[in-house]
Chains A and B, each alone.
Chain A
Amino acid sequence: MAIISVRGLSVVYGNGVKALDSVDLDIEEGDVVSLIGPSGCGKTTLANMILGVIPPEASVSGSIVVSGIDIIKDRKSLVEKIYRDVGVGYVSQVDTLLPWRTLMDNVILPLQIRGMTDPEHMDRAKYLLGLVGLQGFENAYPHQLSGGMRQRAQLVRALVTDPKILVMDEPFGALDALTRVALQEHLTRIIAETRKTVIFITHDLDEAITIGTKVAVMSKRPGRIKMIKRIDFPYPRDPFKLRSSREFEDIRSELWSSLASEVIAGEQG
């Protein structure tokens, strides 16, 4: 059974903008779904819906079932239950580390919130920091770290409670090209190690293919899922090697033509 099941999801914002139009998407446990589409197509709206962050003035129809809990129907009462029981980790594009906390204190914030600051979980935080190459920076404040380091710290923070689902909204969007590729490599290693179900939003096609076991292409606004492509490269993946391979090229051109028609259509609309 799918861990996340989106059925006929439509979202119209208070200002009349239709963000999503009858989206259907099934995500199996262990899937890494890269969500790609033209800007403004509703990728972030879809991620927010899955996170249970639903703007109060929006009108929403359809259903999102996460681990058997209907997020739309049970909005208030059960969304908290999802966060606590299933566990959803979230990494956003903007820097959301708390500037007044050290790196370590930032990373363990979800543990403090859930009262899980036992030695076992604290060790897990240290282990994850090591996994992304941040050991030795535990006592640094965010302003002392580079953008790439802060983004890695956000990733660790999202993983520290061992959630089943990880939602990443253009997590590497604000980084330079080299740092991006390095972090993509880190991420595939972490996915291989922790076996999460991941929703990875990006506007970079190479990144989408490098990260995902599936790439879902969204249409221009109002967004629908236009096509889903399986990507079968084994984890962990080496972004540099991968990108020079023949199969990568083929997948890339297939997805690109699907995406390009949306971009052009998007400009005309």
Chain B
Amino acid sequence: MSRAREALVVNGLRILIIAVLVALWEYSADRYISSLIIGKPSLIAVKLYEYILSDLFREDLIFTMQSTILGLFLGIFGGVAFGIIFSHFRLFAKSVEPIILAINALPRPAIAPILVIWFGFGLLSKVMVAFSIVFFIAFFNTLNGIRSINPELLKIARVMGASRVQIMRYIVIPSILSWVFAAFKASTSFALIGAVIGEFVGSTRGLGYRMLILSGYFDTSGVFAILILLMILGYSLIKISERVENIILKWRPPATTSLF
């Protein structure tokens, strides 16, 4: 099958599968199961439309995106910086390592309430929840990056007459970045998860907060409407970060084997 034909068939199948599922859903709602429980696609569409046209939507969307993106970048920056410092002080690293592992073992939703107590109901507590997840991903990838540096590279750099700062700049940092950006996509998803968890625990706006309110009113279709928005947001963020990853890591050899 030619590439173009295959793409046509795959896209056709996708639309068909979704259409069938939505039709089944629409048909069963209120006929076999109450739409209070499973929602109803036509109702969801109406809710979605109304919500998107309201001022609330803009406010919620911006709020959630802000906490996601701020948490993502602060987390990566903090994780990399701390990872580098960490690897430079062996004794300090050895002493602190179990503490870091223990903190990272905490389920992140469990620390969200304390973060809300500390940082309030506004943006900052959501940024901190997202940060608390991304930070550790970036931190551990930084350590891996530093540990996996080929010692021959350091020897070569020294023989070239490189100073400590130059070894950092030309060898260590690029090695670390390749590891950190390899986890950029995952970090983006986790940042969104963190932001939404933060909103669940205590907030006055945001997509996650709105969903919590609607579920309190048993507005199932409204909840689904927000879920769809979160899905679109998450998917777009992943696609954007994939792009960023590919641009920054364009030197990587392409994967040569594929499962399908």
A residues sitting closer than 8 Å to B (CB atoms) are 51-53, 80, 83-84, 88-90, 92, 94, 96, 98-102, 109-110, 112-114, 141-144, 161
A sample of 22 cross-chain residue pairs with beta-carbon separation below 8 angstroms, ordered by A number, consists of A51-B155, A51-B159, A52-B158, A52-B159, A84-B161, A90-B155, A90-B159, A94-B152, A96-B150, A96-B152, A99-B178, A99-B252, A100-B249, A101-B251, A109-B160, A109-B170, A110-B161, A112-B170, A113-B161, A113-B170, A142-B251, A144-B253
Which residues from B are CB-within-8-Å of A142? 251
A143 B159 Cβ-Cβ under 8 A: no
A98 touches B174 (CB 8 A): yes
Q: With a CB–CB cut-off of 8 A, which chain B residues contact A112?
A: 170
**B141-182: contact bitstring with A at CB < 8 Å (1 yes, 0 no)?**
000000000101101111111100010001100100010000
A83 touches B252 (CB 8 A): no
Determine the main DSSP class of B at the interface with A.
helix
0/1 string, B223-246, CB within 8 A of A gives 1: 000000000000000000000000
Nearest A residue to B156, CB-CB:
A96
Q: Is the CB of B251 within 8 A of A90?
A: no
Which of A51, A96, A101 neighbours the largest number of chain B CB atoms within 10 Å of its CB?
Answer: A96
- Please indicate the chain A residues that have their CB under 8 angstroms from the CB of B156 in the complex: 90, 92, 96
- Which residue of B157, B162, B174 is within 8 Å of A100 (Cβ)? B174
- Report the minimum CB–CB distance from B244 to chain A (whole Å): 15
Please, how many angstroms separate the alpha-carbon atoms of A90 and B152 in the complex?
Answer: 11
Cβ-closest chain B residue relative to A83: B161
Q: How far is the CA of A80 from the CA of B162 in the complex (A)?
A: 9
Bitwise, B50-66 to A at CB < 8 A (1) or not (0) is 00000000000000000
Query: In the docked arrangement, what's the CA distance between A53 and B156, Å?
Result: 10
Known contacts A98-B174, A101-B251; A53 and B155 CB within 8 A of each other: yes
CB distance from B257 to the nearest CB of A (A): 15
Task: Specify the chain B residue showing the minimal Cβ separation from A81.
Answer: B161
The answer, among B161, B162, B171, B253, for a CB contact under 8 Å with A98, is: B171
- Which residue on chain A has the smallest CB distance to residue B153? A96
Q: Which of A52, A113, A161 contacts B157 (CB 8 A)?
A: A113
Interchain CB contact under 8 A, B178 and A100: yes
Chain A residue numbers with a CB within 8 Å of B153 are 96, 98
Asked whether A80 lies within 8 Å of B251 as measured between CB atoms, the reply is: no
Quick one: which of A52, A94, A110, A141 contacts B160, CB cutoff 8 A? A110
Residues of B within 8 A of A51 (CB): 155, 159
Chain B residues with Cβ below 8 Å from A96 are 150, 152-153, 156
User: Given the known A-B contacts A100-B178, A141-B251, are A113 and B162 also in contact in the complex, defined by CB atoms under 8 Å?
Assistant: yes
